[in-house]
Amino acid sequence: MLREIVLDTETTGTEHANGDRVIEIGCVELLNHIPTGKSYHVYINPQRAVSAGALAVHGLSDEFLADKPVFAAIVDEFMEFVGDGRLVIHNAAFDIGFLNAEFARTGHKPFVLADVVDTLSMARRKHPGAANNLDALCSRYGIDNSKRTKHGALLDAEILAEVYIELIGGKQVGFDLSMQPAGRQSRGLQTEAAASREARPRTMISRLTDAEKAAHEAFIQSLGGTPLWRDYIGENPSD
């Protein structure tokens, strides 16, 4: 059983080496590439001011974060949720750098970047020369990101889970009739019921106009007898 944790963070700025801190963590659990419905989400008091640039991106103000727990207060529950799961992160070096800086303060073992699946690197290999930020990938794969007016760690993790599934092959990867996801089904994944529907024979629906049908009828009349072509008109959707 492959367990993965799709993760995203928001921060006070872009430079953990200069003291910027994590202010939000969002995680989504996948089993065999299928969302289970389990997630982890927390806001964190960074004990320092949020930069103007970061505030414009995620909208998390100093006032909003003032009464939230500090990282040291949530780190154990966060690590319990991650457990032995493989991390999946977009631009992993950024988030791992920030989380490891927080772990250095609390004395926890750092994450190993080489063990993390970086979806940005995957996207760059699959779509070289194209835009591969999260919004661009949503557009490319037809994933709804209309709620993403601001960056948010949990929403971005949920969206990234869908992007990741597309990057590794879409609905065919992780197709497993034994799985029963507890939460919302990610775009493109098949449930047992969906697979059953796909297995049923379906009548082909004609997309021909009346004029095209008339032209076809005139053609097969010219052939004489009972040509098989007559069977390929299909049913009218209104029938």
Residues tagged active-site: 151
All residues at 6 or more sequence positions from 158 whose CB lies less than 8 Å from its CB, including other chains: 6, 26, 28, 39
Is 194 within 8 Å of 216 (Cβ atoms)?
A: no
Distance CA 36, CA 29 (A): 6
Distance CA 95, CA 113 (A): 10
All residues at 6 or more sequence positions from 33 whose CB lies less than 8 Å from its CB, including other chains: 2, 4, 164, 165, 168, 173, 174
Nearest to 10 by CA among 154, 123, 162: 154
**Beta strand 3-11 with 86-89: parallel, antiparallel or unpaired?**
parallel
User: Sign of torsion, CA 9 15 21 23?
Assistant: negative
**How crowded is residue 98: how many other Cβ atoms within 10 Å of its Cβ?**
23
**How crowded is residue 213: how many other Cβ atoms within 10 Å of its Cβ?**
14
